[in-house]
Amino acid sequence: MIKKILIADDEKNMIWAMKKALKNEDYKIITAANGIEAVEKAKDQEIDLVLLDLRMPKKDGMKALREIKAFNENIPVMMITAHGTMESAIEAMKIGALDYISKPFDIEELKMQIRKALEIGNMKEQIEFLTKKLKDKTGKVIIGNSLRMKEVLDVVNRVAKSTATILITGESGTGKELIANAIHYNSDRKNKPYIKVNCGAIAESLLESELFGHEKGAFTGAVSRKPGRFERADGGTLFLDEVGELSLATQVKLLRVLQEKEIERVGGTEVIKVDVRVVAATNRDLKKMVEEGTFREDLYYRLNVIPIELPSLRERKEDIPVLIDYFIQKFCREMGRSLISICEDALERMVQYSWKGNIRELENVVERLIILSQGNVIHREDLPKEILLQNEDPSEFILPKEGIDLEEVEKNLIQQALKKTDYNQTKAANLLGITRHTLIYRMEKYNIKGD
């Protein structure tokens, strides 16, 4: 399908040069001489990519960019910049421009940038379709405009319809189950069973029975035949969460199912064929576990046919404001409250926080803020202590709104410095930026023993 590219520039020579550069490419070029024309043509036609000059008469590139993004956020836009307009180009990228082209341009670089922009445009459409399907099925959405998340969702989109086994890795709270859901509901098995099992939440003695089922009388309490999760998932998908928690004995049995596509119930002898697509997830380092001998190497390679690694929230900070906005709207709606906003200072503090619990931790914090907030704006002093006290600049201390006990803080810091230095008073004094005599005086004041 021929891609339509809109080039908006008031310089006729620039339009001519770009058309000539792209003459042998499979594109349909549409031109505009100013910002007003550019917006009108972007509205009237199905444009795949817009190249906007920053400085144009009637309506400059920045205004045109805002208007184009307002009616179609997914149109990729690249800015055409001249010497001295780099600051404006960066500002345009904050608004939503994908990239910029500098005048004078290199022809091969221009072609490469355009190809990349069109690929990202295709990816956006596919991701939008994928996430809409997930929301329709589960009511949940995958949020993320960062390149890392777009790459993840692009892989999900490409592998969903295959029958390959998938291993999703990532820290706790990064959304591994949500990705597994997206894979199933965008696969050809979407109307078949989707069975989930948390391998870390079921006692080892019961897990084999849960996975493979059991016959009547197989063990004490087995009063009837029970089909396992694999049988129930026949024709569909089985999601094995926390697969790193499986014992070596269960790993052997799981390996057999993946290899032979068959199971035996506990206490039974009948071989049962199963057609199950397995999606596994873990927050553990399975490669390291293989080296340590706690996870079978052959099972690791069976599970890791298509690996999907989810980035931590620390690696996709640009998604944090979008996630915060989504959770604020969600909890305000659920609690029947009018919409609350967050001030820039508080937002910046949350963006810079390390979020060891990732999206799950962020969601919990936003929920707590909405419950406890009394006004219509979340301020920096409303944030939890752990966020306020984590600071890249150690010289800046943020005073919590409820205040502090200064002597208690001083005593605590002295104890920390002493522990860090194995109670070497000279080293501890250096850490605190005071003299050894001052340290000894304060240790006596707070009745701190020298170990």
Phi, psi of 41 (to 5 degrees): -70, -35
Q: What pLDDT does residue 129 have?
A: 60
> Mapping DSSP to helix (H, G, I), strand (E, B) and coil, where does residue 9 land?
coil
Q: What pLDDT does residue 392 have?
A: 47
Q: What pLDDT does residue 83 have?
A: 56
User: Could you give the residue range(s) of every CATH 3.40.50.300 domain in the chain?
Assistant: 147-309
Please name which of 125, 109, 104 lies closest in space to residue 49, comparing C-alpha atoms: 125
Both tokens of 383, joined, read: 């944030």
pLDDT tens digits along 323-348: 999 899 989 989 998 889 999 889 98
Residues in contact with 87: Cβ distance below 8 Å, sequence separation at least 6, in sequence order: none
Choosing among 3.40.190.10, 3.40.50.620, 3.40.50.2300, 3.40.630.30, the CATH entry for 3-121 is 3.40.50.2300
Choosing among 3.40.50.450, 3.40.50.300, 3.30.1490.20, 2.60.40.10, the CATH entry for 147-309 is 3.40.50.300
Domain range 406-445, CATH architecture:
Orthogonal Bundle (1.10)
Q: What is the DSSP string of 204-246?
A: HHHHHHHHH-B-TTSSTT--S-B--HHHHTTTSEEEEETGGG-
Longest dimension (CA), the chain: 86
> Mapping DSSP to helix (H, G, I), strand (E, B) and coil, where does residue 292 land?
helix
How far apart are alpha carbons 78 and 53 in whole angstroms? 9
Both tokens of 427, joined, read: 């080293």
User: Could you give the residue range(s) of every CATH 3.40.50.2300 domain in the chain?
Assistant: 3-121
Q: What pLDDT does residue 313 have?
A: 93
> Mapping DSSP to helix (H, G, I), strand (E, B) and coil, where does residue 40 land?
helix
Give me the residue label for tokens 């709270």.
173
Residue 180 in contact with residue 278, Cβ under 8 Å?
no
Give pLDDT < 70 ranges for the chain: 83-87, 89-90, 120-140, 391-402, 451
CATH 1.20.120.530 matches 314-348+358-384? no
pLDDT tens digits along 364-396: 999 999 999 888 999 999 999 889 887 544 455
